Structure 1
Amino acid sequence: MANSEVSDKELVTHQLEATFATSKKSVQEYVREIERRCRFQSSYRHLQNGTILDDRSRLIDIYEACVQQDAHLRGVLETLFSQIVGERFMMAKQNEKGKYAKDIAATRKIQTTEFLKIIHGIAESKLYGYTGLEFYVDPKKEHGGLTVNYVERRNILADQNRIVRRQGIWMPHWNFDDPKYADNYVLINSGDLGLFSAVAPLILAKKFTFANYVNFSHTYGQPIIHGKTESENTVDRKRMANDIAGAAQNKVIVTGLNDEVDIKTFTMSNSEHVFTGLISIVDKDVSNLILGSESMAGATQSYVGATRAHENIFRDRIEVYRDYIELVMNESIIPRLVKLGYLPSGLEFKYAKRIEMSDEDRIRLFQNLTASWEMDPETIEQEFGVKVKRQLNVMTGVPGATSSCGSSGEYGHRRLTDEEYYRRYGHARETTNFLRERE
């Protein structure tokens, strides 16, 4: 049972107290949190519940610091989320043949910003290790009145299935399995520390490397203005140095007849190669870990074949994320929304099984399909936003068109068009002397 009562007007998420510390994180702090996790896993099964806590609040601080302060990681996450939201999912019912029929009314209910929070939360459970969600439904509001809140991760003891009011303190707490809260609260636990456990040390090392790189650039990256004078007098040399220093403001410098002023710049040194190499290695590993491909995160490949191979890996990885979201939705989320009266029963959350491809590949596919099949104008308008009418290449009597029956020639073979015949044989169809025709 829960150790603290919650009124209908006051949500659990409004009572939580947590401390945020996402600045000046180091690899040493990450190592300490991993050691803390190891101690918990080694002992909590042998101790009374509450003796030792699965407190990952400091680890969450490190995770959030990496997301907030690393632009590349943030871009990778935006790429990931762009592939799991949008008009890709629906509420559907499976028929006797195993095909899914879309429920338009229920699908419209899940095409809301509140429902997108659920999808984001499920995906983030793979990254952070766990996510806590809070649901409330007010039928009087528009779009079904669904409200979704994230339970602060610093107040969640994931492996102990608890929400604590104060970060790191066992009492008071709420149990996710308590019947009083089971319909409104759900814990999505991936069972480990999440993908960020491998990303965090790389980002922290990159941050340290980048800081050293900036200091190195300030010291050795600035050009040096070199002045030469024939005078051996120290006063003349100082005067020339002052004139050179003031030339940046005055834009004018006067020198002697044989004096020289030139600018010396440093070439890229081995040290600079080390800094840039470490940064690129970290970015590559982060992209490969989360997306399965560095090219999908913006990196360029040396040849087309490598890019296509990376695209296939990327699509497979996104498919794994979608399958995970579908399973969690249908096992944990949809049944709760049905109990709360937000969705009708008997429906499943489903991603549309369509091929993800580039615009160029999509155009090529439609060209191949329209050459042999009659396409519905609504399909083309939905895909490209272009309104079309009759399809000319399936109508008989049109020059250069393909016959709609597809087997107008002998033995059921498709008859070549005049244009295709000329391209293949080099002369027009039914020409007696094609050599004279070429002349």
Structure 2
Amino acid sequence: MKTPFKQRLKANKIYRVAEAFFLGNASYTQLNLTAAAGKRQNTSMPSDVVKHQASMMSAQTLESWKTAVMLATDPDNPDKQNLHLLYENQKTDNHLESTIETRIAKTQQSPFKLVGKTSKERDEEAEKLFKTLWFQEFIKLVIEYKFDGTKLIEVFKTNEEGILTEVTEIKQPFFNAKKGIILKEPGQTTGEDYRFGPLSTYYIQIGKDYKDLGTRALIAPIILAKKLGLGSWLDFIEKYGVPPLFVTTDREDDERLLELFEMATNFKSNNFMIGRGNEKFEIPNISSTNSQEAFDGLIKRADNEVSKRILGGTGLTDEKGFVGSVEIQFELAQFRFTSDKLLVRNVVNEKLIPLLVKLSPAYSSLANFDFEWDDEDEMTIDKLIKIIQALGGYFDFDPQQIEQITGLKILGIKDSSSGTATAKPEPVASKKKVVT
């Protein structure tokens, strides 16, 4: 029996009303997830279903490093679980992490701008979309690729207005860049396709598909040698830090030997001992200067090697340095900072902005802009004063404009001959617009 036309029309109207209600109250994250689920069987994002494991701070050796690199570069099925453990172990080295954070922080605090692709005009409203916590995290992850190797970033979670709230890193053991899949467990050979599947619009891969292990893999032997030196130094302190006590006696009876043994055991708490006859109690003077220099020298050499690799020199991390040498090494480090900024700019323009435009209508306007770093020198009060001093002998400045820029109230103009101040002159009307 066919449904009458009016009943079908009424049912369709009710469906459209219900559809509009649910779509209107759903967040963009839910809508995106529903859209992705329409093309795949799983209704959860891979980052929500990966089986994370507790962090294991296991000791690493040169053999561990060799094994980790071998597994990570397996041509058939690369496995970066061991490499990830090696890198996590490196993060306990304060000097290494400090130099890496210096590279990241330099780019994070650099001013940026969004300029129109055709007009080349700056848009401060569009820039507010990137003045967020998630963008700071995004910059960090992009630069970390140089040290950790290939990165995979999930850009998906939004609020009700369609504004991105966070970015998620898929850790190295949980994705296979060569196959382009996300793994539920490390070492698996199958997983969710993030490169060509329905999820491809939510993921950004930074780095190559194969053998892109990052700088940490190259400096691992230096860090392991440093850790060995620190461990050996601790063993030396534990063994020789407190001088030993030598007891000499001519008694051979067990009773007296047991008494001396007990006296020596309790010497630290008693601070004195009483002997008999020819018994002697001696604390030798053990000098550890040469041993200390050996351990400390190894650690300093390792730190210097790390600084050279990451910052281009040791001048920015050493306590002492010559002015000329430090300036040259800062210039070398500046090259690296500029390289980091170029990497971030290209990733934002080529990958992040197109993804955001597809992710939510809130970012649709970004399609008309390019991300650029604002490298123009900021006009400070000191620079302004120097300009006025240099040009003041040739030109007259508008006092009102000087007040506006400096915030200093000008009450009058001093006569250089008498030292007295005259009333501030009224500004001359001009048709030209003053640009501050």
TM above 0.5, yes or no, is yes
The Cα of 1:141 is off from its aligned counterpart by: 4.8
- Alignment CA distance shift 1:300-1:164 (3 Å): same
> 1:168 — aligned with what?
187
- 1:89 paired with 2:129, answer no
The Cα of 1:328 is off from its aligned counterpart by: 0.9
Do 2:72 and 2:83's aligned partners in 1 also have CA atoms closer than 8 Å? Answer: no
Do 2:250 and 2:279's aligned partners in 1 also have CA atoms closer than 8 Å? Answer: no
> 2:19 — aligned with what?
none
- Alignment CA distance shift 1:122-1:221 (3 Å): same
The Cα of 1:91 is off from its aligned counterpart by: 2.7
> 2:48 — aligned with what?
14
- Alignment CA distance shift 1:254-1:308 (3 Å): farther
Matches within 5 A, 1:1-400: 5=40, 10-19=44-53, 21-40=56-75, 52-67=76-91, 69-86=92-109, 88-93=111-116, 101-136=121-156, 138=158, 140-141=160-161, 144-178=163-197, 180-190=198-208, 192-224=212-244, 246=266, 248-250=268-270, 264-296=284-316, 298-340=317-359, 341-343=361-363, 344=365, 345-354=367-376, 368-372=386-390, 388-390=407-409, 397=415
Do 1:161 and 1:187's aligned partners in 2 also have CA atoms closer than 8 Å? Answer: no
Give per-residue Cα distances to partners, 1:288-346, cap 9 Å, x unaligned.
222223232x3123322222222222222111111111111111111111222342221
Residue 154 of structure 2 aligns with an amino acid whose one-letter code is E
Do 2:155 and 2:166's aligned partners in 1 also have CA atoms closer than 8 Å? Answer: yes
Q: Using the alignment, how far apart are the partners of 2:157 and 2:134 within structure 1?
A: 11
Q: Using the alignment, how far apart are the partners of 1:55 and 1:398 within structure 2?
A: 78
Q: Using the alignment, how far apart are the partners of 2:326 and 2:60 within structure 1?
A: 35
Percent identity (aligned): 20
Q: Using the alignment, how far apart are the partners of 2:152 and 2:418 within structure 1?
A: 61
- Alignment CA distance shift 1:349-1:399 (3 Å): farther
Q: Using the alignment, how far apart are the partners of 2:322 and 2:138 within structure 1?
A: 39
Q: Using the alignment, how far apart are the partners of 1:391 and 1:240 within structure 2?
A: 88
- Alignment CA distance shift 1:337-1:88 (3 Å): same
**What's the Cα RMSD here?**
3.9
- Scaled by the length of structure 2, the TM-score of the pair is 0.71
Do 1:124 and 1:130's aligned partners in 2 also have CA atoms closer than 8 Å? Answer: no
- Alignment CA distance shift 1:225-1:239 (3 Å): same
Q: Using the alignment, how far apart are the partners of 2:224 and 2:194 within structure 1?
A: 34
Do 2:110 and 2:373's aligned partners in 1 also have CA atoms closer than 8 Å? Answer: no
- Alignment CA distance shift 1:379-1:237 (3 Å): farther
Do 2:161 and 2:362's aligned partners in 1 also have CA atoms closer than 8 Å? Answer: no
Q: Using the alignment, how far apart are the partners of 1:371 and 1:261 within structure 2?
A: 79
The Cα of 1:66 is off from its aligned counterpart by: 0.9
The Cα of 1:106 is off from its aligned counterpart by: 2.0
> 1:414 — aligned with what?
none
Do 2:153 and 2:203's aligned partners in 1 also have CA atoms closer than 8 Å? Answer: yes
Do 1:162 and 1:176's aligned partners in 2 also have CA atoms closer than 8 Å? Answer: yes
The Cα of 1:227 is off from its aligned counterpart by: 8.2
Q: Using the alignment, how far apart are the partners of 2:100 and 2:56 within structure 1?
A: 22
Q: Using the alignment, how far apart are the partners of 2:244 and 2:389 within structure 1?
A: 66
Please give the secondary structure, in 1, of the residue aligned with 2:155.
strand
**Gapped regions of structure 2 (runs ≥ 5):** 1-35, 392-396, 420-436
Q: Using the alignment, how far apart are the partners of 2:332 and 2:156 within structure 1?
A: 38
Please give the secondary structure, in 2, of the residue aligned with 1:348.
strand
Please give the secondary structure, in 2, of the residue aligned with 1:23.
coil
Do 1:22 and 1:62's aligned partners in 2 also have CA atoms closer than 8 Å? Answer: no
Do 1:92 and 1:103's aligned partners in 2 also have CA atoms closer than 8 Å? Answer: yes
Please give the secondary structure, in 2, of the residue aligned with 1:84.
helix
- Scaled by the length of structure 1, the TM-score of the pair is 0.70
Do 1:135 and 1:146's aligned partners in 2 also have CA atoms closer than 8 Å? Answer: no
Give per-residue Cα distances to partners, 1:44-89, cap 9 Å, x unaligned.
xxxxxxxx2122222122112211x212222222222221213622
Q: Using the alignment, how far apart are the partners of 1:189 and 1:76 within structure 2?
A: 21
The Cα of 1:187 is off from its aligned counterpart by: 1.1
- Alignment CA distance shift 1:237-1:172 (3 Å): closer
Do 1:6 and 1:12's aligned partners in 2 also have CA atoms closer than 8 Å? Answer: no
Please give the secondary structure, in 1, of the residue aligned with 2:352.
helix
Please give the secondary structure, in 2, of the residue aligned with 1:134.
strand
Equivalenced residues, count: 366
> 2:31 — aligned with what?
none
Do 2:194 and 2:203's aligned partners in 1 also have CA atoms closer than 8 Å? Answer: no
Do 1:146 and 1:342's aligned partners in 2 also have CA atoms closer than 8 Å? Answer: no
Residue 181 of structure 1 aligns with an amino acid whose one-letter code is L
**Gapped regions of structure 1 (runs ≥ 5):** 41-51, 357-361, 381-387, 402-439
Do 2:181 and 2:190's aligned partners in 1 also have CA atoms closer than 8 Å? Answer: no
